[in-house]
Amino acid sequence: MAGLLSIGLQALNVNQQALNTAGQNIANVNVEGYSRQRVEFSTRQAPEQGVQVVTVQRVADLFATRQLWIDTSAAASSQVFLGKASQMDNLLANSNTSISAALDEFFGALQTGVDDPTSIPNREVILAQSEALVRRFRDLDQLITQQNTDITNQAGTLAQQSNILVKEIAQLNEKISLAVARQEPANELKDQREELVRELSEMIGVTVQSSGENDDINLFIGNGQPLVVGNQPSEIKILPGDPDPDDLQVVVKVASREIEVGDDIRSGELGGLLQYREEVLKPAWNELGRLAMVLSDTMNSQHKKGMDLDGNLGIDMFKDLSLSGQVRAAKGNETDLVSQHLKITDASKLKASDYTLTFNGSGGFTLIRESDGTRIPSSSFKVQAPAADGSQAPGTLSGDLANGELQLNIDGFTLSIKGEAGFTQGDELLIQPVRNGAEDIELNIASGRQLALASPIRGEASIDNSGTGEIEFLEVTDPKAAFDSTGQLSPPAEIVFNSDGTYSVFDISNPADPQPYILDGVALTAQPFTSGEPIQLDGFAVTLANQPEPGDRFSFTYNTDGVSDNRNALALSNLQQAALVGQDANGEGGTSYQDVYGQLVERVGTETRVAQINAAANESVLKSTQSIRDSVAGVNLDEEAANIVKYQQAYQAATQLISTSRDLFNTLLGATGG
């Protein structure tokens, strides 16, 4: 009887534990990351016989869980990238913030100046639209700057939240190790740890390794830097960028060492932020700055070739941005800079890019154009002394690196730096020629009267001319050379055709005593004439069409009182379609202002559409992976309900067994007593 009673009690206890486990599963059906549990039974061997609980097993698929972590990171990264890219796309394409719309209105106003250059109201409209264009550049730059600040702040928040999770995972590792050492189940602790790893993967993306001995989970970030090893957590920190303070650094503090890992983070929300900043925000920021610089430079250049309503030569229409570039030295450089100077020498050749200059141990350097990754070694520059005015020719360099002096010209800018001593291997400089263009652009004129819409040179054919020659085109090429401080053409000139079909040019500063016109030390006499070919004079060029006759004269003087002249207004207006942005070294292959902006909008729009596709695909993959994981580890209420019925019946049968054992025992006692 004792054996039957023992078997009944064992069955009763075992099935009660099975009922408790089923109840635990049902109670946690909605708990994120919970893995269902299952009681494992085994038969007791003779002579005891009966049943026993071997363990309460946690049902989980490690491979499915690992894939869930990976897919969670990918989905989070693509969603963050999409959110930021959509914001940028809306900023660039929205008519309320678009540069293209402001350019249309600006050049539309310029056309009113072409139609009537003497109209004060028309000039004030041009001035107003110029100011609106400047505001549009600056406002858009401020919005991009704010988005960059938001990314830094979000990265900081993610780092703080990740550090909390990292510490909790390390603590759970320790608790689980202790439970394993005591041979106690730690199912709920393991569920908590896996869910924390999933949350951490969503934030930053981690590599997971399991340690079978103590059942630990070790986490690594970047290219293998330890984040959690056993019960030892590391700390993630967000620091200002070096050498660019507008950038950010992601470092892992391991013991007392800080290791930079930002370049290797490609997943999780943090990875999406970093990827977006490098692939979308920085290129758009630089392109906007370049467009502002080219617009300012080319409009100023043409405006200074004109004459305003008061007969004065034109001044800069916009602020001169040739010194808006900046040079930043890395904090770890051994050689300190005494001076650095960055000057835009040809805005039309600028690239929408930052540059990294790194000195090497061979007494040279490597310049990397970040926008396309082009590496330009110092050996590719031609060594050439600066010109008399200190300028450096394109594609050349000068200086003495051993003594810390360097000057080079490339991509439309000149860089001049001087160190305390010779540059050391590994010294690094960040060069940003165009980053501040949109931030720094300003209107330089305060009155519509200052708009130089007229040409300052008047060309007239003598009324006695007998040929068909006529002035086809008159262009100011260098205002400084063409005019003196008194507002006079210096000198006024006259072209006279000779009997042999050649022409001579005379200086008519004194009309009563014309003198040979001297250009670069050469008297322009008996020059061959070709119809339609420009005649280059000092600071301006004239094109004569058709065929003049001997004795025909064409005079060129300052355009005094020529306020109704619209030639420079027309030249300014024509810049709208000119290929002025991104020219190659030969001055070819450029693009117009609006086409460049349109390409920027198109590029960001394409990246946004690709991000939408990637986000949708990653979300679909994540749902599939979640479904696979849940099919193994998730709680099935129908299954648990069936288990409850089964265990309940087994429990009731065990009580019957105990009751039967008791009845038999009582019967035996009664028979013995009888």
Interval 451-476: pLDDT, tens? 999 999 999 999 999 999 999 999 99
Span 602-628, pLDDT tens digits: 999 999 999 999 999 999 999 999 888
Q: Which H or E run contains 594?
A: helix 593-633
> For residues 285 and 438, what is the distance between their CA atoms, to the nearest angstrom?
9
Long-range contacts of range 39-42, CB-CB < 8 Å, 24 or more positions apart?
A: 39/14, 41/14
Q: What is the largest CA-CA distance in the chain?
A: 166
> For residues 491 and 448, what is the distance between their CA atoms, to the nearest angstrom?
29
Angle between helices 62-93 and 120-181 (to 10 degrees): 170
Phi and psi at residue 395, in whole multiples of 5°?
75, 15
Identify the bridge partners of residue 374 per DSSP, sorted by sequence position: 369
pLDDT at residue 48, as a whole number: 67
pLDDT at residue 629, as a whole number: 87
SS3 128: helix
> For residues 633 and 621, what is the distance between their CA atoms, to the nearest angstrom?
18
User: Burial letters for 264-273: b for 16+ Cβ neighbours within 10 Å, e otherwise?
Assistant: ebebbbbbbb
- What is the mean pLDDT for each group of 10 consecutive residues in the chain (674 residues)? 69 77 80 81 75 76 89 96 97 93 96 94 96 97 97 96 96 91 85 93 92 78 92 94 93 90 93 96 98 98 95 95 96 90 96 96 90 95 93 94 92 95 92 97 97 96 95 92 84 95 95 94 95 95 96 95 93 96 91 96 97 96 90 79 79 77 71 62
Query: What are the start-end ranges of the E strands in 200-308?
Result: 207-211, 216-221, 225-229, 232-233, 235-240, 248-254, 257-260
Amino acid identity of 578?
A
Report which of 291, 32, 357 is spatially closest to residue 137, judged by C-alpha positions.
Answer: 291
pLDDT at residue 378, as a whole number: 94
Amino acid identity of 398?
S
Helices (H), 310-442: 437-440
Any residues with CB less than 8 A from the CB of 267 and at least 6 apart, and which? Answer: 70, 73, 74, 76, 77, 201, 204, 205
In the block, which residue shows the tokens 């702040």? 153
pLDDT at residue 636, as a whole number: 80
Any residues with CB less than 8 A from the CB of 586 and at least 6 apart, and which? Answer: none
CA distances from 617 to 267, 353, 489, 611, 638 (A): 15, 32, 69, 10, 32
Amino acid identity of 415?
L
> For residues 285 and 534, what is the distance between their CA atoms, to the nearest angstrom?
40
pTM of the model as a whole: 0.90
Q: Six-digit token pair at 469?
A: 């020659």
pLDDT at residue 451, as a whole number: 97
